[in-house]
Structure 1
Amino acid sequence: MSEAAPKSAAALAPLEVARRFVDARRAARALPDFPGAIPADMAAGYRIQEAAIGLMADPIAGWKVGRIPTELQASLAAERVMGPVFAANIVQAGLEPTPVFAIPGGFAAVEAEYIYRMGEDAPAGKTDWTPEAAMALVEEELVGVEFAGSPLASINILGPRVVAADFGNNAGLILGRAIPDWRTRTDDWPACAAYVDGKLVGRGAPSSLPGGPAASLAFLMNVVAARGRPLRRGQLVTTGAASGIHDIEAGQTARITFGDLDEIRCIAHPAVPAEGQGGSHDGRRDASG
């Protein structure tokens, strides 16, 4: 049964909105509408995100960055949006398709990604990172797939303020191979392509991201530092949907290729309540399951 709408949506505090999102993810239950008033700006969306992080026992193992549509950037005073990636939701791609768990009636998509692994802690309080300075702290670059997911089917339609509120619309990260000679590779290699049920749905390359992946990293490092969460050694940063955002439903398969470097396959299953799947917040099995 769907959650009843609040009597006064505007009266809900960020913590209560966060709780409704987290509870819905844990229960694998779709939300019919945003549970409260739409955040007034990006800062309000991030206040909800921060409250939701406080409700999670799972540690943050990385962050995702997404691009805000050009036509919205001026009004939102932002070019990108970000959110946490929790440790239980990170898996290594294998020979068999990786399962991803879509909340029935919610939102689910796959995205080709270029991912940085940090090799050093970022100094606390530094908020003037340039792409060049940020890259000096990176240990390696990998390819991978972000599984975007939310209990709210309309999350992308409602826009970046809502995306920010619900963990940046992240539900998992599938890691592929490390990119060889990544510090000297061009921004056109390795190119990526995405297929859903065998149909080509998008193509891209590192250069598809404005400023390249390094610009996304610098943005992320500045934002998390301002929030008192500077990046730590070993954390992952997934830098944006290079091939686009590709909806996927339970029963569908996806194949993401990265030239001759790697191919990552996944298959979508219906999410079930966390209690039956190892306790992860999005209804997927944990590593022991």
Structure 2
Amino acid sequence: MLEHTEANELASRYLAEHDARAQHRSLADRATDQSLDAAYAVQDALHRLLGERGHKIAGYKVALTSRAMQEFVGVDEPLAGAVFDHVVLSSPAAVRLNDHRHLGVEFEVAVRMGADLTADAGPHTRESVADAVGACHASFELVEDRNADYSSLNVFDLVAENAWNAAVVLADAVTEWRSVDLIDGATRLTLNGEPAGEGRTGDALGHPLEAVAFLANNLNSRGQSLRAGQFVMTGSSIVTQFPSAGDELVFTIEGLGEVSLSCH
């Protein structure tokens, strides 16, 4: 495991690269330990640095929810990252592309927690977390890949730099979420009023609550917990889009409504 000082130094380097919107490059070779646990130690240090700027964790994201993407980067499970309060937007939202180097948009069910998921109640499963869910939202996740070379992605970097989260956009909460089909419910994207993609609510891990259970167990293993009021971005059901200025995106989930984003 990385020493505390080394984790802090690496986190500072990642944060400086993000602040500068620099071309993505791997920093993994600077770490004396490149294990997944070490990468999460750097991520936790990055979270502390953002906390020192006055930002608070509002929720979390689960990345690499498809087996193909996990195999592509050499892991056998999804990855976790945090979403901070200053980048949580309400629909309809607008984003300035010039504020980013290379912004992608993903299309997800966000799950809002109504109760804590602590280690003493675990290990958590899709079934056991259901009673802790307060609501669901249609949502976008905005990801900043900084023009990364996808053919040479390093899992250490992906975890250490907070799984690339740039922002989220949330539609209104649906508290009657149990009546929504979260396996085969239709998801649809329109881009500038034209159909641009479709999927199913269960396309990420088979069910959004699988992502919640994974995230809760991941946090518990790191001495943390998913808390009431926080949300989980559960993975995209439609391929990532990289919008241009002037684009209007509307994402609809059967039973959860729609979320919209204007790009300038």
Superposed, 1:156-167 pairs within 5 Å as 156-157=150-151, 158-167=153-162
From 217, 226, 232, the equivalent of 1:222 is 217
Residues 5-47 of structure 1 deviation map (CA, whole Å, 9 limit, x = unaligned): xxxxxxx9433332122223334x2234224528734323222
How far off is 1:236 after superposition?
0.6
TM-score, normalised with respect to structure 1? 0.76
Does structure 2 conserve the Cα–Cα contact (< 8 Å) formed by 1:121 and 1:231? yes
Aligned length: 253
Tell me the distance in 1 between the aligned counterparts of 2:150 and 2:10: 17
Q: Which amino acid aligns with 1:47?
A: A
CA contact (8 A) 2:26 2:154 kept: no
In the alignment, what sits opposite 2:15?
A: 22
Separation (CA, whole Å) in 1 of partners of 2:96 and 2:9: 25
Identity of aligned pairs, percent?
A: 26
1:86-131 CA deviation, whole Å, 9 max, x = no partner?
A: 011111113xxx1224467733111111111111122245541111
Contact 1:38 1:161 survives alignment (8 Å)? no
Q: Tell whether 2:76 aligns with 1:66.
A: no
Contact 2:137 2:256 in 1 (8 A): no
Q: What letter matches 1:59 in structure 2?
A: K
- CA shift digits 1:25-78 (9 cap, x unpaired): 334x22342245287343232222111111112110100012255256468453
For 1:128-139, what aligned pairs fall within 5 Å after superposition? Answer: 128-139=123-134
- 1:118-267 correspondence runs (5 A): 118-150=113-145, 152-154=146-148, 156-157=150-151, 158-179=153-174, 181-188=176-183, 190-198=185-193, 200-259=195-254, 261-267=256-262
> Which shows bigger deviation, 78-87 or 64-73?
64-73
Secondary structure, counterpart of 2:156 in structure 1: helix
TM-score by length of 2: 0.83
CA contact (8 A) 2:139 2:170 kept: yes
Please list every run of 5 or more consecutive structure 1 residues that lacks an aligned counterpart in the other structure.
1-11, 270-289
2:124–2:216 contact (8 Å) kept in structure 1? yes
Shift of 1:178: 3.0
Q: 1:267 to 1:37 in 2, by over 3 A?
A: farther
1-structure distance, mates of 2:210, 2:255: 25
Counterpart in 1 of 2:29? 37
- CA shift, 1:163, in A, is 1.9
Amino acid at match of 1:66: A
**Equivalent position SS for 1:177:** coil
Structure 1 residue 210: deviation in Å? 2.3
Q: How far is the alpha carbon of 1:175 from its aligned partner?
A: 0.8
In the alignment, is the contact (CA less than 8 A) between 2:82 and 2:165 conserved in 1?
Answer: yes
Write the distance in 2 (CA, Å) between the matches of 1:208 and 1:256. Answer: 15
State the secondary structure of the residue aligned to 2:227.
coil
How far 1:259 sits from its partner (Å)? 4.1
User: Any conservation in 2 of the 1:30–1:104 contact (CA below 8 Å)?
Assistant: no
Residue 264 of structure 1 deviates from its aligned partner by 2.2
Structure 2 unaligned residues grouped into runs of 5+: none
Amino acid at match of 2:9: E
* Cα 1:188–1:132 shift into 2, 3 Å: closer
What do residues 148-190 of structure 1 show as CA deviations (whole Å, max 9, x unaligned)?
124x321654154322121111111111133463213323564
List 4+ stretches of structure 1 deviating above 6 A. none
Matched AA of 1:120: A
Of 42, 47, 59 in structure 1, the residue corresponding to residue 41 of structure 2 is 47
Kindly indicate whether the alpha-carbon contact (under 8 Å) linking 1:63 and 1:82 is maintained by their aligned counterparts in 2: yes
Query: What letter corresponds to residue 83 of structure 1 in structure 2?
Result: G
> Which residue number corresponds to residue 83 of structure 1?
81
